[in-house]
Structure 1
Amino acid sequence: MDQSISLNKFISDTGYCSRREADNLITQGRVLLNDRPAALGNRYKPGDTVEVDGSLITAAKKEKRVYLALNKPPGITTTTELHIKDNIISFVNYPQRIFPIGRLDKDSEGLIFLTNDGDIINKILRAANNHEKEYVVRVNKPINPAFVQQMSQGVPILDTRTLPCKVQMMGRQTFRITLTQGLNRQIRRMCEYLGYTVVGLQRVRIMNVRLDKLPLGKWRHLSEAEISFLKESVADSSKVRSEDNPSAPRKKAPARTPAKDHPKTAFTPETKPSPHKHKTTKPPAKDSKPRTGKPTEKPGKRENAVQKPSQSRRGKPSSPPKNAGKRRRG
């Protein structure tokens, strides 16, 4: 029985980093598999040696799973790069190697998970899983029902349109919003598009875990019930795709572009040809040909086609005198 696993999963399971970070390390040439530079898609099997930046990584170093909930204060950057000032890892200062699940803007505050479980990170981050994240937002001026409706229906940002979401007015300048996607600075960009500026943003819930009364800047361990629910919620995630196909996430990005092009391509070509087709049978065949991308060549061919019979007709009247000439000679 094959006991091998993907290399990025092995590195993640040791608690060294997440799978995505492991893929980055591999592409940067910082990972050796059996003394040879590793490549995306490589698999680890018992007995193999794995080195990252010259340090041996073994399954024996695998640590107990850690799941933390932090009430991140504003000013803390969600990154594992320790050289960056006010990074979240140094702020928490946990004795084991952990990394955040997702991001929370530096200017924002509220709930964020940290763990050394690479499997659950990938599953939670997958947008296809539609995991809810709830925020309380305060803007710079009063909001109205029209604002709530526009936000809930989706707003065009970052060359796409945000998915429909739940929005509830809480006060003159405060609203609650629940998202199932995580575009870069999504809420701030949505508000800016509608002419508002976010002056305060707090994430209060991720899936089944709520911020509740956790003080700002403090963290706690997730309860067994919370962990169990999280794992059950992501159990149906496409785990195999991320393990065996590191490029699988890239297939999702191009999927957004066709969605934008569909309305454009379906707008003019389909509406214009249809009325012509109903008028006659022959003309639409001629009209439809130029729309295939060769508008100049085929009309030219038609002209030639018209000229050829005219030449042949002219040729026929010229032939009788020739025949007549032959008769005179005879």
Structure 2
Amino acid sequence: MTDKHPDPTHIRLAKRVAEQLNCSRSTAEQFIEGGFVSVDGQIEEAPGARVRPDQAVTVAPDASLLELTPVTLLLHKPAGFEAGLGLPGAATGQAAHASRSQGAQQALTLLSAASHLPEDASGIRVLQRHFKQLECFTPLPTEASGLVVYTQDKRIARKLAEDIEVLEQECIVEVKGEIAQNGLQRLCHGLSFNGRPLPPIKVSWQNETKLRFALKGIRPGQIPAMCEAVGLAVVGIKRIRIGRVPLAKVPEGQWRYLQPWEKF
């Protein structure tokens, strides 16, 4: 509960930092959100936090606004979480998909400091500001799992929004049943979907129950329909790559940062 009558000796952290550094309030707020400011030895990322005169407020010697760059997070979405409509394995028809995903928890809620991959090689410090103003242009059906991208970076957002149809996506599809004669060849080329012939697609067996699909411009329900056409039923779908960016060894429910050299 907010105190309606705050102690006048307690001031906003941003004001205190601005006074100490003789800088603007907005610059002070950026230093705080960047994780460079500590109160009594504890990092404080909320510019609006109130501090007492006797509390020690310190700014890290290496504080820099250059680090306040937008980030992109790569989440391994578990099945059962909502991450937008359409793409691999969605139920045929929007009504079927809606009925299946109604009430599903948003995958965005999985993004927190606690679910960050400990072995993340990016070297980026996890900050609370990294979980704000995230956009997703790589939807994945509720019943599917795998790579979902959330970004603050307008350049990456534009790239994904404009090119998602032409970026190759790789999925591991678990199936059951017995494949028809020449079924694998037909999956690669020769099937139609929604009355239109499909372009050549790269499909191969990963093991006895899993197929590896690599394709572009995936339509909702396409993969299950393709498998059904050759006598197979889809048990599960996991997206492991978008363009040149892989999910890598990120466990379900965890996420990592997109590294500077990685390009979709």
TM-score range, shorter chain: 0.5 to 0.7
Aligned to 2:74: 69
Q: What is the CA RMSD across the aligned residues, in angstroms?
A: 2.6
Structure 1 contact 89–99 (Cα < 8 Å) conserved = no
Tell me, which stretches of 5 or more residues in structure 1 are unaligned? Answer: 1-62, 231-330
Is it true that 1:130 corresponds to 2:166 in the alignment? Answer: yes
Is it true that 1:156 corresponds to 2:188 in the alignment? Answer: no
Runs ≥4 residues deviating over 3 A: 125-129, 142-145
Is it true that 1:115 corresponds to 2:134 in the alignment? Answer: no
Higher Rg of the two aligned structures: 1
Corresponding residue SS for 1:197: strand
Deviation at 1:76, TM superposition (A): 0.5
Identical columns (%):
28
Aligned to 1:90: 109
1:184–1:65 Cα change, 3 Å:
same
Q: TM-score, normalised by structure 2?
A: 0.55
Structure 1 contact 67–113 (Cα < 8 Å) conserved = yes
In the comparison of the two structures, how many residue pairs are matched? 164
Is it true that 1:168 corresponds to 2:226 in the alignment? Answer: no
Letter in 2 for 1:110: G
Corresponding residue SS for 2:183: helix
Is it true that 1:192 corresponds to 2:228 in the alignment? Answer: yes
Higher relative CO (Cα under 8 Å, sequence separation at least 6) belongs to 2
Aligned to 1:207: 243
Q: Deviations over 1:246-299 (max 9, x none)?
A: xxxxxxxxxxxxxxxxxxxxxxxxxxxxxxxxxxxxxxxxxxxxxxxxxxxxxx
Whichever structure has more helix as a proportion of its residues is 1
Cα distance in structure 1, aligned partners of 2:165 and 2:219: 15
Aligned to 1:105: 141
Aligned to 2:88: none
Letter in 1 for 2:138: G
Aligned to 1:179: 215
Out of 79, 83, 89, which is 1:78 matched to? 83
After superposing the two structures, state which structure 1 stretch, 148-157 or 67-76, moved more: 148-157
Q: Deviations over 1:195-245 (max 9, x none)?
A: 32100211111112212211111011111111xx33xxxxxxxxxxxxxxx
Corresponding residue SS for 2:105: coil
Structure 1 contact 79–89 (Cα < 8 Å) conserved = no
Deviation at 1:84, TM superposition (A): 5.0
Cα distance in structure 1, aligned partners of 2:181 and 2:215: 19
Structure 2 contact 79–143 (Cα < 8 Å) conserved = yes
Cα distance in structure 2, aligned partners of 1:114 and 1:158: 30
Corresponding residue SS for 1:225: coil
Structure 1 contact 142–173 (Cα < 8 Å) conserved = no
Whichever structure has more strand as a proportion of its residues is 2
